[in-house]
Amino acid sequence: MRKYLFIGLGGFFGASFRVMIKGADIFSNVGFPLSTLLINLSGTFLLAFFLTLTLKFFKIDEDLRLSLTVGFFGSFTTFSTFSKELSNLMLEGSYYFASFYLLSSIIFGLLLAFAGLRIASNIVDNLIQTEGEEI
């Protein structure tokens, strides 16, 4: 039961943070869902970075990890909003924007997830190496 409360709490903050960022979108009148793209891409990077650090080096409580990964990042990034906005672009006939949105979400999402994993792995490797030198 505790883990579900943690996930729910993380979800509350992730969704709230996303709505705040979306509400402050200065590009909303451009006709392109830039805020959702930036939210999803930053969340993808941060999720990979955080998971790599906490699984490889910094051991944290499993419920706290679930709260931040499944709860916060799961509700901060959103596939359903991406799908809705992509569908809207296609229905409006904005095929160039729709194609760019689809491809940039997938390609940059994968690249940023990989970057988050690699950067965190390098940090962990350096921390482990530093710990070994102190002994």
Residue 38 is part of which domain span? 2-134
Per-residue model confidence (pLDDT) at position 32: 86
Number of domains the chain contains: 1
- Whether pLDDT at 135 is above 60: no
Query: Helix H segments across 57-94?
Result: 62-66, 74-76, 79-91
- Counting beta carbons within 10 angstroms of the beta carbon of residue 124, is it exposed (0 to 12), middle (13 to 18) or buried (19 or more)? middle
Confidence tier at 13 by pLDDT (50, 70, 90): very high
Distance of CA 33 to the CA centre of its chain: 16
Q: What's the pLDDT tens digit per position in 58-77?
A: 889 999 999 999 999 999 99
- Whether pLDDT at 28 is above 80: no
Per-residue model confidence (pLDDT) at position 25: 67
pTM, 2 dp: 0.87
- Whether pLDDT at 11 is above 70: yes
Cα 108 to Cα 121: distance, rounded to the nearest angstrom: 19
Cα 20 to Cα 17: distance, rounded to the nearest angstrom: 5
